[in-house]
Amino acid sequence: MENQSEKDTDQNEEMLETSESLESLSLADVSAEKTTPDSDTDLEIEDPEKAFAGITGIELYLEACRLLEVVPVSHFIQNLAKPYINLNHHGLGPRGAKAIAIALVSNATVTHLELEDNWILAEGAVCLAQMLQENCCLQELNISNNHLDTEGAEAIASLLLDNMSYLHALQLSGNNFGEETAPYFAEALMGNYQVKELDLSHNEFSEKGGELLGQMLASNETLELLNLSWNHLSMKGAVALGTGLRSNGTLKILDLSWNGFGNEGARALGEALKINNVLVQLDLSSNQIDSEGAKKLCKGLEVNGNLKVLKLANNPLTVEGATALIASIRKNPKSMMEEINISNVPVNETFIKLLDLVCQEHPGLDVTYGEAGGYISKNPEQYPNPMKVIQNYLNEHNLQLWDFFRNIDKDGNMKIPVAAIRRAIMQESNIPLNRVQIAELVQKLDRNRTGVVDYSHLKEKKLAQKPVEGEMKEEEEKEEP
């Protein structure tokens, strides 16, 4: 008697047959080449779509792997009915990517697919682009570090240009996209109304690419996040991007770190910040911006009323430039700044005193700076453990930690931005914590530097009316190895 595995093999082989070579297999071919048990060839099927309708995603994937002579990925099979699949670093190659693309053509459950570092090459990118023309559910795709090169860039850009997919987040970092690919993306993104988050970092765009992408920013009405870090955009690229930001009305997060802008690039972005009222986060780390460049950037910070995060780490700033940055926030009553990162810049006592004054006026502000020199480093002040201070406050007011967070949580979603916590504590005179202690407290509550404190785990304790004593100690020990 024929065993079950042999029967399954026979059934799979009866589902699909191909008269073409594996090299020419396409998504359309797989759908059209399905045969019925009574048919002699695939050409006898009058309605391939109806004949193909009964095949599940897993069966389709297994048959595609057989035809393409690739080993099926068990993790993909196990998660095909889930919204999130992570296949990073699986060594898929172009044929493995093709098999996955075939299985996802009509998939209605997967919304987020991770395919980073799989050597899918341009061939794999073309297959994924074809799949995305039909798939209406996939919203987030990561195909970074896959050696897509120019042909792959053209395939993805054509998909974006035609608005053929429902993608809203696309990661294309580290794919050898050179200057010749910049026109593809610039043209595609000028008219694309789907993609909100795009990562083009660690590629090879230079000044001309920066100029084209800057023109794109002036026209694009959808992008909210753009990562162009680790390219070679230089000063002209920065100027063009600054010009584009003046007209852009949607971009909230822009990462331009490691692009060698220099002071003129800082000046152009400072001018853009005078006009742009949408950008929330700007990363200019490692761009050869010195204190003179920081002062040019300050011209925008003195009037901008929307930027919340500014990253300037690993630039050759001195305490003079650092002081100018803090002073610009003090000059701007409309400033919404919550975070400034100048972590490599050593500061002095004058800077610390100014920062303390500014934080009184802007209690949500957190500035990360280098070591403080002079008198401060020789005689550091010792402050009480902020976790114990908060616990004492809770005990005195007969409160639980849940109540403390709940009073701060304006949205009621049990996730509080760290800036809101800083602001609430600074403005609550009954909690004797200074800026340094609050920074230490926030670091312990938000160990992973997410910018948010999630206190949802305290809900059960609140319902059980657990005593407050020891809660802060638990928070301090939480996630410790």
Coil vs helix vs strand at 266: helix
Q: What are the tokens at 262?
A: 């220099």
d(C-alpha 333, C-alpha 75), whole Å: 53
CA atoms within 13 A on the CB side of 462: 14
How far apart are alpha carbons 196 and 279 in whole angstroms? 14
pLDDT of amino acid 127: 97
Pairing of strands 309-311, 197-199: unpaired
Contact 294, 318 (CB under 8 A): no
Structural domain includes residue 36: no
- CATH code for position 423: 1.10.238.10
Do residues 309 and 393 both lie within one domain?
no
Q: Which residue has the tokens 């240009």?
A: 161
> 34 lies in a domain?
no
Q: Which residue has the tokens 């701007």?
A: 332
Query: Residues 165, 218: one domain?
Result: yes
373 and 402 co-located in one domain: no
Cα(444)–Cα(453) distance, integer angstroms = 10
The burial of 306, by beta-carbon neighbours within 10 Å (0-12 exposed, 13-18 middle, 19 or more buried), is given as: middle
Among 378, 406, 432, the domain boundary falls at 378
* 469: helix, strand or coil: coil
Q: pLDDT tens digit string along 81-110?
A: 999 999 999 999 999 999 999 999 999 999
Burial 18-47 (b: 16+ CB within 10 A, else e): beeeeeebebebbbbbbbeeeeeebeebee
| Positions of the chain with pLDDT lower than 70, given as ranges | 1-55, 373-382, 428-429, 459-481
Question: What letter represents residue 213's amino acid?
Answer: L
Rounded to whole angstroms, the Cα distance separating 355 from 102 reads: 57
Residue-wise pLDDT tens digits, 245-282: 999 999 999 999 999 999 999 999 999 999 999 999 99
Secondary structure letter of residue 372 according to DSSP: B
Query: What CATH number is associated with residue 361?
Result: 3.80.10.10
C-alpha 381, offset from chain centre = 38
Long-range contacts of 18-27 (CB under 8 A, 24+ apart): 18/42, 18/67, 19/43, 22/67, 22/68, 22/69, 22/95, 25/67, 25/68, 25/98, 26/127, 26/130, 27/101, 27/102, 27/105, 27/127, 27/130, 27/131, 27/134
- Do both 118 and 140 map to the same domain? yes
Q: Judge whether 70 lies within some domain.
A: no
Distance, in Å, from the CA atom of 118 to the CA atom of 96, rounded to the nearest integer, reads 9
Instruction: Give the total number of structural domains in the chain.
Output: 2
**449: containing domain:** 386-477
Can you tell me the distance from the alpha carbon of 272 to that of 257, in angstroms, rounded to the nearest whole number? Answer: 17
Residue 291, domain member (yes or no):
yes
Buried b (16+ CB within 10 A) or exposed e, 311-330: bbbbbebebebbbbbbbbbb
Is residue 176 within 8 Å of 199, Cβ to Cβ? no
Sequential DSSP letters for 408-468: H-SS-SSEEEHHHHHHHHHH-TTS---HHHHHHHHHHHTTT--SEEE-GGGHHHHHTT--S
Residues 6+ apart with CB under 8 A from 452: 415, 416, 417, 418, 446
At position 69, the amino acid (one-letter code) is: E
Same domain, 348 and 396: no
Structural domain contains residue 65: no
d(CA 332, CA 328): 6
Q: Is residue 400 part of a domain?
A: yes
Which two three-digit tokens encode residue 81? 């009915």
- The per-residue pLDDT for 325 is 98
Q: Which of 348, 378, 408 is the last residue of a domain?
A: 378
Pairing type for strands 415-417 and 452-454 reads antiparallel
227 neighbors 201 (Cβ within 8 angstroms): yes
DSSP 34-79: B--TT-SSGGG-S-HHHHHTT--HHHHHHHHHHHHT----HHHHHT
Q: Is residue 56 part of a domain?
A: no
* Cβ-proximal residues to 409 (8 Å cutoff; 6+ apart), any chain: 415, 416, 420, 455
* Residues 193 and 333 occupy one common structural domain: yes
Q: Residue 98: is it exposed, middle or buried by C-beta count within 10 angstroms (0-12/13-18/19+)?
A: buried
Residue 471 CA to residue 461 CA, distance in Å, equals 9
Q: Are residues 316 and 451 in the same domain?
A: no
209 and 266 both lie in a single domain: yes
Q: Are residues 271 and 414 in the same domain?
A: no
Same domain, 100 and 130: yes
Last residue within a domain, chosen from 378, 410, 437? 378
Is 24 among the domain residues? no
- Looking at the fold, whether 414 and 452 belong to one and the same domain comes out as yes
Question: Is the domain of 409 the same as that of 334?
Answer: no
Is residue 29 a contact partner of residue 101, using CB atoms and an 8 Å limit?
A: no
- At residue 49, the pLDDT reads 43
